[in-house]
Amino acid sequence: MRYRTFNYPYIRIDGMKIITADPWYKSMSRGEMEEFLAKPLLMRIGLVDSDGYPIVHPVWFLYRDGVLFFLSNKKSKKVMLLKNNPKIYFTIDTDKPSGVRGKGNAMLIDDDELAIDLMKQMILRYLGSIDSKVSEMLIEEAKESMVVKIIPRFFATWIHK
C-alpha cells in the first residue's frame, strides 16, 4: 500500500517557525496562534521514560514571547526525565478542531520567586482569582516547583474555518 505524502508549508515570523500541522486545515497566523495560546487550555506534554515508553501529562501553561512555561515539583517524574533528556513534545488543542503542537527543548529553572510569580499568573488564568484556599495551596506548592521553559523548534498549527 502506498501512502500519500505531503509537503507542509511553513512561515517564519520574527524567527519563529510556524508550520501547517495538517493539510486538511488552515494554519494559524502568529496573531491567531498567540490569541489561541492565551486561552485557559491544558497543554499536554510528551516525554520518554527510562524504559523508552512515551508518557503524556496534562499541565497548566503560560505562553510568553515564543516560549512555553509550566511548573512541576522538583522531585517529580517529569523533572527527573527532563534532566536526563530535555527533548519534549507539546500539544494544546480544542474540540473545534484547532490547536498548536510542536517539539522543543526543555530548560529547568530552579527559582522559587519565578515559580511563585508564574503560579500566580496561572491561577488568575485558570481559576480567575488568587483569593481562595486552593490558590493559597498552589502558591505554597510552587515553592517546591521547578520552572520548565520549553523552547520550541517549531509550532505546528491548525484551525477549522
What are the pLDDT digits (tens) for 35-71?
999 999 999 999 999 899 999 999 999 999 999 999 9
Domain 10-159 has CATH 2.30.110.10: yes
- Is the pLDDT reported for residue 76 higher than 50? yes
Q: Are 122 and 62 in contact (CB under 8 A)?
A: yes
Q: Are 150 and 69 in contact (CB under 8 A)?
A: yes
For residue 15, the model assigns a pLDDT of 64
Length in residues, the chain: 161
- Is the pLDDT reported for residue 9 higher than 80? no
